[in-house]
Amino acid sequence: MDGNGHVGQVSRERYDELVVEYRELVAQEGRIQFNLGDNALEIEPYQAHGGQRRRADDGPSVEETIAEFADDVGVAPSTMLGYRFVAAKWPVEHRVPGVSVEVHRIPADPTARLRPSITMRHRSAV
C-alpha cells in the first residue's frame, strides 16, 4: 500500500472488496472440483483392490469413459482423473472445508488426514 491508501492502482477499500469477492470464488472452485470428482467417481467407481479390470470387449475403459465426461463438461481428462482420485481418497466426511483439492492431494499416505492445525497454518501462509 502506498502513502495515499492505495494498493496498486485501486483504493484500499476497493482492494478489500476484491479480496472478499475472490476468496468466495476460490472456495466455489474447490467445491466444484470436489463435485466433479464425486461425479466422475459415481460414473466410474474405483474397484476394490485386486478387482478385475474390464476387458477390451466389455466396452470403453475407465479412462475412456472419464475422458468422455471430461470433454463433455469442458475439463481436461487428466484433470478429471485427478479430481476422481482425490474424491476417492477423501470421502466427504473426511474433507476439510475451505481446503483445496490440491492440498488434499498432498498426503502420500492415503490414511493420513488433514488436521485443523495444518489447515490453519496453510491459510495463514496464503
* The model's pTM: 0.71
Q: What is the mean pLDDT of residues 100-122?
A: 62
Tell me the C-alpha distance between 105 and 1, whole Å: 35
pLDDT value at 64 more than 90: yes
Instruction: Decide which of 65 and 107 is more confident.
Output: 65
Q: pLDDT at position 1, please?
A: 66
Q: What is the mean pLDDT of residues 20-30?
A: 90
Q: What is the mean pLDDT of residues 12-32?
A: 92
- Tell the residue number behind the cell numbers 492502482, with chain if given: 9
Q: CA distances (Å), 21 to each of 5, 25, 34, in order?
A: 20, 7, 21
Alpha helix locations (H) across 44-76?
A: 62-73
pLDDT value at 34 more than 50: yes
Q: pLDDT at position 26, please?
A: 87
Residues 49, 88 contacting (CB under 8 angstroms) = no
Q: Which has the minimum average pLDDT: 41-45, 73-77, 87-91?
A: 87-91
Give the type of residue at 83.
Answer: Y
Nearest to 40 by CA among 56, 19, 63, 60: 63
pLDDT mean across residues, the chain: 83
Q: What is the mean pLDDT of residues 30-43?
A: 95
